Chain A
Amino acid sequence: MSTKSDQHISQLMDGELEKDCSRFLLKRLQSDNKLKQKWENYHLLRNALQQNQAPLIVGLSEKVSKQLNAQQKTATNKAKTSVQSWPKALLGSVIAASVALVAVFSLTNQSTEGLTTSPNHGSYAKTSAQLIAPPTAYAARAEQAPSIAGRSHFTPEVRQYIIQSNGGHRIESLPHYYSAEYLNRLQKERQKSPNSSPPTPIGE
Chain B
Amino acid sequence: MADITLTAANVSISGAQSAIGIAGETIAAGQPLYIKASDGRLWKAAATSAAAAAVVGISMSGGAAGQPIPYTRQGVVTSQTDTYGAKGDAILVATAAGLLHSLDTDGPLAGGEFMTLLGFTTGTTTLLLDIRPNIQVI
Chains A and B are bound partners: no
- Interface, chain B (partner A; CB < 8 A): none
- Interface, chain A (partner B; CB < 8 A): none
